Structures are given as C-alpha cells and as structure tokens.
Structure 1
Amino acid sequence: MRRLHVALNVSQLDRSIAFYEQLLETRPVRRIGDYAQFLTDEPALNMALTEHPVSEIFRGHFGIEVDDPTMVEDALQRLTAAGLMPEPEPDVNCCHARQEKFWVRDPDGHRWEIFWVRSREGLS
C-alpha cells in the first residue's frame, strides 16, 4: 500500500491528538513521549505529530479529496458535531476546478480542507 506521509510540529500533543482523532476517525497507532503516529487506509496516510515550541510551528494547508459530495457533507456534519467549527465553502472555483469543500483548523492553525471536485478545467 502507498501512503502519503505528513509530519507536523504541534505545540500541545494531547490537544492535537484529540483533533486528529476526530478528523481522521481513528486513534494513533503509536505514542512515544512527544511523538504520535496515525496510519489510515482511507485516506492512505502516515501522519506523525511531534511536540515543539510554538515558534517552530509551520502553518500550512493540507487536504483530503473524497469520492463524492455526500462524503463532504457527512464529514462536515461529524466535525461540526464534534465542535471543531468547520468553515463551509460550497460550489467554489479553486485550483482551476469546481469544488464542494470545507475547511477546519487543527489546534496550531494548520488548515485542512475536505473536498470533492465537481469538474476540472481543461480535463475531459
């Protein structure tokens, strides 16, 4: 199996683990000191979290592309119910594509988008 690997520095490991358990619907497979690792099949992801001082936190953005728009709506409802305050962005033109999406931030401000591509410009 192939997996995308993402390694993030986080300011408070416990707080970030709680967020990613909600986002990814799973618990970490490993927790050692200031390190936690999530392995998921859907999406195929190997994510490592390491606790560092706030000054070393990079706030990027990441995304999970899903197969159909109902998956976006289901995730939006689930994360809203968990109190994570997702920001819906329906029917948006982004990256030369029409998308259904929403954004959610982890405890350190890393932005995650859950999105479905309605159509891609220039592709058949």
Structure 2
Amino acid sequence: MKDEEKTKEQLIKEMQRMREKVAGLEEIKLKYNQVDKELKQTYKKLQKFIEGTAYIIMKVVETRDPYSIGRQQRVSKLATAIAREMKLPQDKIEGAKIASLVHDIGKVNLPTEIISKPSKLVEVEFNLIKKR
C-alpha cells in the first residue's frame, strides 16, 4: 500500500512539473508571437522606407535627365511583370521592382550636357556613360 501511495505522490508531482513546463512553453509561445508580430511590422516599415528611397533616387535621376521622365517606372512595371510571369517569390518580385527603379543611378554622376545631348555622342562621352 505504501508503494502505491508513493507512486501516486510521484505521479502527482510529475504531473505538476509537466503542467509547469507546459505553462512555461505557452508563455514562450506568446512572447514568440509578439516578437514575430513586431518583426513583421518592422519589416513592412523597412520595405516602405526602401521604396521611398528608391522613389527619391528615381526623381533625382529624372531631374538630371528630363528625357527619361517616367522611364524608370515603366521599366519597373515591366520588370515586375516579368518576375511575376516567372513565378518568382514575392520578395524577389519586390527586389526586381526596387532595382529597376534605381538602375539609372549612374546618370547622377554624369554631366548634364552629356545626358541630354541631342546629337550623337563622341567616343569620350560614350565611354563616360559606359563607366557609369
């Protein structure tokens, strides 16, 4: 009888320890869910910041080269459509969108006279553009 009672006591203690562990795991899960939610919110804010930065860069390029106004946006739409058609993951589609918005950033360092020159470029000018 004593052995049975001792076994019951041991089982009760073991059950209590298990309940405590489960409660601890539930607390960890709640913290994890909160951190996950905050991380997703931060990621969305970062995405908006990156898109805003890309848009500003695009506008700077357009001010330097008025002939290309709207071009980066058209390129971005095309790149995004191609990425979707290729069934790329959403993050890759977003990457293609952002990269295509800023692909002409090298124009910022070129002299305006070369960027908007209406006639054919001479070799030196063309080499400057290639280096961008």
Larger helix percent: 2
Question: Which TM-score applies when normalising by structure 2?
Answer: 0.22
Larger Rg: 2
> TM-score, normalised to structure 1's length?
0.23
